[in-house]
Structure 1
Amino acid sequence: MILLTGVTGTVGRLVAERLATDEPVRLLSRDPRRIAALAGPRTEAVGGDFADPSSLAAALTGVRAAFLVTSDPLTPAHDEHFVAAARSAGVRHVVKLSARAVAEPDATDLITRWQRDNEELLRASGIEWTFLRPRAFMSNTLGWARAVRDEGVVRTVNGASRNATVDPRDIADTAVLSLTGTGHAGRAYPLTGPAAISSADQVAVLAALLERPLRCEDMTRDQAYQGLLARYPSPVADALMESAVRQRSGAKAGVEPTVETLLGRAAGAYRAWAHDHIQAFRPV
């Protein structure tokens, strides 16, 4: 049996939709009703919470491999609980969604340190592991959709700096391969798109597809920070600002061949992702 976590999120849901296997599949969510549509003849939705070790123990019973997605760097106990329950249940392989910055010594922000600790936790557990280390998701630009629809303006920090952003569908396909194939244990996969692209370039792509003018405006550092504080606790906002400074220095522009090597096809480009999601940016 394969267990998937994070199925209400971007990558986890794509993994659930793309996982084709003869094995039974179990989907974990705090509220199984939210993922009921993903259930099927060999796929069950079960309740469980990273904060509740007993619920994890029940969900992991009989599981061979698991896809682990956690999202809160302020609650490291979530990974600790999951790994302990997986070890006790005899899970043989965990595929962990991590981050590209983990392998970069100059990345010292809170989120990167948290992911490094998560990886070390799995390494020390005795469970076979695979780490997926993506750059920023192309789908993050969906956060611009309302501003694009209503104003025709995208406000960013460091709009000219480049990031080798990755299509979440490529991450999901790599996760499926790692969960169902052989030879992936003990491997860490850096995942990027085929080219580094700036926010300004992404806005230009959206403008061309929408056939309307869009403007990319740089925010000041303080404006960007205040925007982050409106959405995140201050330690997380601080970490995201540190990450933005690294991007401005060019630290996130490197392109990796991993997607093409593993999947036998080119990594998805931003224009293709934007084309497939352009309706989100059109005026209602």
Structure 2
Amino acid sequence: MILITGATGTIGSEVLKLLVERGERVRAVTRSPDKLPPDLDVVRADFDDPDTLRLAMTGVDALFLLTAPAKPTPDHDLAALDAATRAGVGTVVKLSAIGTGETIGDRTVGGWHLAAERAVQDSGMAWTVLRPSSFASNFLRFAQPIAAGGPVPNLTGNARQGVVDPRDVAAVAVEALTTSDHKGQTYALTGPEALSVPEQAAILAAALGRAVETVDVPADAARADMLGHGMDASAVDAVLTGVEWARAGHNAVVTEDVAEVLGRPATSFATWVRDHLAAFR
């Protein structure tokens, strides 16, 4: 039995889909069971409720660990790991983020991920850590404004990043969950090329056959917008630390990890755009 946390999100839902297609026994953990098909093994659980986590782990062999707390903390990962080890789960695949543990000035990128990664590695389970780069699907946040002719907000200027298709991240996770070939590995998952936001916009524009503009967003304006939408201040600080790290050129990284795990090239941003073009029209 494979347990999937974050089962209704961008990565978790794709991991769930791929595992079901492969005929694996799966259980999905969510706080919103109504968002998943009724024929699935779905458990309502909360990272802040140890009893629900304990029940969710019953009979589980492998855990896909994806947490997204409102505040940047490893506590949810630690709670899930505690429940998993008590239940005798043998394998854990942790979704982290590229750049975790690196520094920019006196700040650490993804400090909460780093603490969770260390706990995963010390858990006694067979482990794999996935550190994806910027998701191609981030552009979907602006699908409606783009469709209306508006610009794409750009926090990272001309800095390039190894933009990755979330479907590739999910496919790597499935391999790590279902085979023993990736124990003890930390994978930096990127697409096949490093792209800036303006370059991504140009690729989308070519597919749409019309201009797609970008507009630079200063850090202060981004901070005010995120706080104005109710985002926790510590989470805003964490996001902007990652933005500054990327703006400094530290995420202009392309690896072969996706290709080595999947035995095929990583998916290009142009291919991702083609497959999601309807969302921008």
- Name the TM-score class by shorter chain: over 0.9
Partners in 1 of 2:105 and 2:189 — Cα distance? 17
Residue 171 (structure 1) aligns with? 169
Cα contact 2:12–2:170 (8 A) shared by 1: yes
Separation of aligned partners in 1, 2:37 and 2:23: 20
Contact (CA 8 Å) 2:100, 2:109: kept in 1 or not? Answer: no
TM-score in terms of structure 2 length: 0.93
Greater shift, 76-85 or 162-171, is seen at: 76-85
Q: For residues 72-221 of structure 1, what are the structure 2 equivalents within 5 Å?
A: 72=69, 73-102=71-100, 104-106=102-104, 109=107, 112-221=110-219
Matched, 1:251 2:250: yes
Which amino acid is 1:52 matched to? D
Give per-residue Cα distances to partners, 1:44-98, cap 9 Å, x unaligned. Answer: 1121111111111111011110101001244432112111100100000010101
Q: Return closer, same or farther for 1:136/1:257 CA change in 2, 3 Å cut-off.
A: same
Provide the rounded CA distance (Å) in 2 between the counterparts of 1:254 and 1:196: 7
Residues 93, 130 of structure 2: 8 Å contact kept? yes
C-alpha offsets along residues 73-125 of structure 1, whole Å, 9 cap, x if unaligned?
44432112111100100000010101111253558756600000001111222
Question: Using the alignment, how far apart are the partners of 1:91 and 1:261 within structure 2?
Answer: 27
Residue 273 of structure 1 deviates from its aligned partner by 0.5
- Offset, 1:137: 0.8
Give the secondary-structure state (helix, strand or coil) at the position aligned to 2:215. strand
Shift in CA distance, 23/245, structure 1 to aligned 2, threshold 3 Å:
closer
What amino acid maps onto 1:230 in structure 2? G
8 Å contact 2:109–2:241 — kept in the other structure? no
Change (3 A) 1:248 1:77: closer
Alpha-carbon distance in 2 for matches of 1:128, 1:5:
17
Give the AA of the match of 1:201.
Answer: E
Give distance in 1, aligned partners of 2:74 and 2:129: 17
CA–CA distance in structure 2, aligned partners of residues 140 and 196 of structure 1: 15
- Given that 1:194 and 1:269 are in contact with CA atoms closer than 8 Å, whether structure 2 keeps it comes out as yes
Residue 54 of structure 2 is aligned to residue 64 of structure 1? no
Cα RMSD (Å):
1.8
- Aligned AA for 1:29? T
- Structure 1 residue 30 and structure 2 residue 34: aligned? no
Secondary structure at 2:129 match in 1: strand
Between 1-10 and 154-163, the greater mean CA deviation after superposition: 154-163
For structure 2, the residue ranges without an aligned partner over 5 or more in a row are none
Cα distance, 1:258 vs. partner?
Answer: 0.4
> Does the 8 A contact of 2:74 with 2:112 survive in 1?
yes
Deviation at 1:249, TM superposition (A): 1.4
The reply on whether 1:238 has 2:237 as its aligned counterpart is: yes
What's the CA shift for 1:230? 2.7
Deviates more, 1:227-236 or 1:196-205: 227-236
TM-score (norm 1): 0.92
1:7 corresponds to? 7
Once residues 163 and 230 of structure 1 are traced to their aligned partners in structure 2, the CA distance between those partners, rounded to angstroms, is 27
41, 44, 48: which one pairs with 1:47? Answer: 44
State the alpha-carbon separation in 2 of the partners of residues 23 and 152 from structure 1.
43
Quick check: 2:154–2:214 contact (8 Å CA) kept in 1?
A: yes
User: How many pairs does the alignment contain?
Assistant: 278
Asked if structure 2 preserves the Cα contact closer than 8 Å seen for 1:64 and 1:93, the reply is yes
Residue identity opposite 1:12 in structure 2 = G
Rounded to whole Å, the distance in 2 between the matches of 1:219 and 1:8 is 30
Query: Which consecutive unaligned segments of at least 5 residues does structure 1 have?
Result: none
Distance 1:83 1:241 in 2: 28
